[in-house]
Amino acid sequence: MSTPQSALSIQSVRLDDANSAIILLDQTLIPNETRYLTLTTQEQVWEAIKELRVRGAPAIGIAAGYGLYLAAKQIAAGLPADAPFATFQASFLAASKYLGSSRPTAVNLFWALERLEACALRHAAQPLAEIVASLRTEAEAIRAEDEQMCKSLGEYGLSLLKPGMGLLTHCNAGTLATARYGTATAPMYLGHERGYDFKVFADETRPLLQGARLTTFELQSAGIDVTLICDNMASIVMKNGWIQAALVGCDRVAANGDAANKIGTSGVAILAKHYNIPFYVFAPTSTIDLKCATGDDIHIELRSPEEVTSKWYARPMAPAGVKAYNPAFDVTDHSLISAIVTENGIAYPPYSQTLAQFVR
């Protein structure tokens, strides 16, 4: 029997510049199938982000950067070489706005798009070919920086943990959601390499089951001890004394430390507070939005009711026509968060005073 491929060796998003394409692992098919998609149009990139074929804030940012670069490449190819920058920019900004409409909550999406917009402006006086080349360099830098960022998150996160700990995580903040290592899973991977022998409990994470499908898939493939639990079992494993820390990722952090993450994260934080278990949010600084005052200002995406009523069943498991409320995210109040781990260091309360020093 062949040895399963470790998720750490999987590159979930990469650029195939020769074919003007993004090669993307379709995360909606894991764990039953490993299929890579070839995306060559803006519509395909938009759909992949919207439908969570690529997911995880950093991976979304990487895909968006590549997508906007490919849009620029296509726009420039359709213009005379000496076309004015303003002509190029109008179509370029329209492509950016279109990609940004795919997922309104994930700040990395807009961070990556705005980064490429700024890059184009910096090179506005250059020929279109050189602008496009600069945009490719910027998009590749987003991916490379993400890998290093995740490694740094892991080192800082590991400093909060001890060998033999039981860890609880919610959703998927793993290597599949980033360039490598993940955010909340980074200390798990680094600890595993160093013999920490963590025991990880992964919530299944309704309604899209990222914990069940993705987190357990990648941790198990890497040889990490992982146990899958239903979302409503978090309390009992905490009460049993099996959890010494909860580690989660995030899609956006407000200036006061409120953090948006996959629906159910807030409930885990409330339980952790009750059982005196530290609750750590792993936040690349690209997800920290200092212009967003509190979690009340974070837009919460509502998704299709079918994800709750019928998506994961051979037959619908709810009465036909029943209403279903299906928010994709919730916001964990800053008062429930023990620390926010960034690639530049660990922020502690009061976050309204400490977070800014880590955003460079």
Q: What is the pLDDT of residue 4?
A: 54
Between 58 and 93, residue with greater pLDDT: 93
Q: What is the pLDDT of residue 5?
A: 66
Per-residue burial over 247-264, b = 16 or more CB atoms within 10 Å of its CB, e = otherwise: bbbbbbbbbbbbbbbbbb
**β partners of residue 279:** 246
Domain covering 7-149, topology: Four Helix Bundle (Hemerythrin (Met), subunit A) (1.20.120)
Q: CB–CB of 200/224 below 8 Å?
A: yes
Q: What is the pLDDT of residue 3?
A: 42
Mean pLDDT value across residues 263-279 = 98
**β partners of residue 16:** 21
Q: What is the pLDDT of residues 288-304, one digit of tens each?
A: 999 999 999 999 989 99
Long-range contacts of 159-163, Cβ-Cβ distance < 8 Å, separation of 24 or more: 159/346, 160/187, 160/245, 160/278, 160/280, 160/339, 160/341, 160/346, 161/187, 161/191, 161/196, 161/198, 161/244, 161/245, 162/196, 162/244, 163/191, 163/195, 163/196, 163/197, 163/198
Q: CB–CB of 36/160 below 8 Å?
A: no
Q: Which residues are catalytic?
A: 251
23: three-class secondary structure by DSSP: strand
C-alpha of 11 from chain center: 14
Dist. CA 240–CA 201, nearest whole Å: 13
Indicate whether 91 pLDDT > 70. yes
Indicate whether 348 pLDDT > 90. yes
Q: What is the pLDDT of residue 290?
A: 95
Residue type, 35: R
Residue 9 banded pLDDT, cuts 50, 70, 90: confident
Q: CB–CB of 324/309 below 8 Å?
A: yes
Residue count of the chain, please give it: 360
Indicate the DSSP class of residue 297.
G
Q: What is the pLDDT of residue 2?
A: 40
Q: Domain locations in the chain?
A: 7-149, 156-358
156-358 CATH pick, 3.40.50.1100, 3.40.50.10470, 3.40.50.300, 3.30.70.3270 = 3.40.50.10470
Give yes or no on whether 7-149 and 156-358 have one common fold. Answer: no
Q: What is the pLDDT of residues 26-66, one digit of tens each?
A: 999 999 998 999 999 999 999 999 998 998 888 999 999 99
Rg value, the chain, Cα: 20
Q: What is the pLDDT of residue 1?
A: 34
| The residue to which tokens 């990395």 are assigned | 108
Give the DSSP H or E segment for 116.
helix 107-122
Backbone angles phi, psi at 269, to 5 degrees: -65, -40
Q: What is the pLDDT of residues 205-250, one digit of tens each?
A: 999 899 999 999 999 999 999 999 999 999 999 999 999 999 999 9
Q: What percent of the chain has pLDDT over 90?
A: 89
Per-residue burial over 135-173, b = 16 or more CB atoms within 10 Å of its CB, e = otherwise: bbebbbebbebbbebbbbbbebbbebbeeebbbbbbbbb
Dist. CA 59–CA 67, nearest whole Å: 12
Q: What percent of the chain has pLDDT over 70?
A: 98
Q: What is the pLDDT of residue 22?
A: 98
Dist. CA 187–CA 185, nearest whole Å: 6
What is the residue-averaged pLDDT of the chain?
94
